[in-house]
């Protein structure tokens, strides 16, 4: 089904397709095709003005959101991996021609605490075991009516595997992800839908 859906996709701006190829060649994890389509849809449908991304890598998804959002949209993105930061910076200099993107260098655990409220769209795409720790700050800075979008929440289905079928490290990550999903579905401040798009995604609206 995913291959069929992706076969209908018209692709992105050529520089994004090029960046995607480079990321794949260098083993940099970036959002999948169907996730890209959903993000583009959400840019057009919810028209966010102030976006926060947690997990920039080399800037592919930030540039995708910049490309397909309104001209006055601003994007702040966080990355802690020193090897990826200079590449992201270079890509933003080259492709973020409208200066929509600001890169914050460092650990999201620290940086999120320093951010002020006012975001209408948060894209969570960092260390999967940390989502549950990032959530309180995300809820603090997300506007009412704003969207929290989280990627890789089903880990190709591994999240629902028996704990004995996975390694100890993955067991911990999966347990934390299950806790995160439970919280998203049971927190009275949120209305959440869990989708099997890409590697599993959630869309949560702040009530």
Q: What does the binding site for ligand SAM look like in residue numbers (CB under 6 A)? A: 29-31, 55, 57, 60-61, 78-81, 84, 107-109, 125-127, 130
User: CA-CA distance, 99 to 26, in Å (whole number)?
Assistant: 26
Shortest distance, position 17 Cβ to ligand SAM, whole Å: 13
Does residue 98 contact residue 70 with C-beta atoms inside 8 Å?
no
Nearer to ligand SAM among residue 114 and residue 162 (C-beta): 114
Nearer to ligand SAM among residue 41 and residue 165 (C-beta): 41
Shortest distance, position 47 Cβ to ligand SAM, whole Å: 20
Shortest distance, position 164 Cβ to ligand SAM, whole Å: 27
Q: Looking at beta carbons, which residue is closest to ligand SAM?
A: 55
Shortest distance, position 157 Cβ to ligand SAM, whole Å: 18
> How many helices and strands (H and E) does the chain possess?
8, 7
Nearer to ligand SAM among residue 136 and residue 145 (C-beta): 136
Nearer to ligand SAM among residue 27 and residue 164 (C-beta): 27
Residue 143's H or E segment, with its range, is strand 142-151
User: CA-CA distance, 89 to 67, in Å (whole number)?
Assistant: 16
Q: Look up residue 115 and give its DSSP letter.
A: P
Residue environment code for 107-121, b if the CB has 16+ CB neighbours within 10 A, otherwise e: ebeebbeebeeebbb
């Amino acid at each position: 089904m995913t291959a069929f859906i992706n076969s209908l996709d018209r692709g992105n701006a050529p520089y994004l397709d090029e960046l995607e190829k480079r990321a794949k060649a260098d083993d940099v994890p970036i959002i999948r095709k169907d996730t890209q389509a959903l993000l583009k849809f959400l840019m057009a449908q919810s028209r966010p003005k102030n976006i926060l991304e947690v997990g920039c890598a080399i800037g592919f998804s930030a540039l995708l959101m910049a490309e397909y959002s309104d001209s006055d949209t601003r994007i702040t993105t966080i990355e802690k991996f020193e090897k990826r930061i200079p590449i992201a910076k270079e890509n933003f200099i080259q492709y973020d021609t409208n200066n929509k993107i600001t890169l914050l260098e460092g650990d999201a655990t620290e940086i999120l605490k320093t951010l002020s409220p006012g975001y209408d769209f948060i894209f969570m795409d960092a260390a999967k075991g940390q989502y549950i720790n990032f959530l309180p700050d995300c809820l603090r800075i997300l506007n009412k009516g704003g969207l929290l979008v989280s990627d890789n929440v089903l880990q190709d289905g591994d999240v629902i595997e028996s704990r004995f079928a996975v390694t100890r490290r993955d067991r911990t990550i999966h347990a934390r992800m299950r806790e995160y999903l439970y919280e998203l579905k049971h927190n009275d401040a949120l209305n959440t839908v869990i989708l099997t798009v890409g590697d599993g995604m959630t869309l949560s609206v702040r009530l």
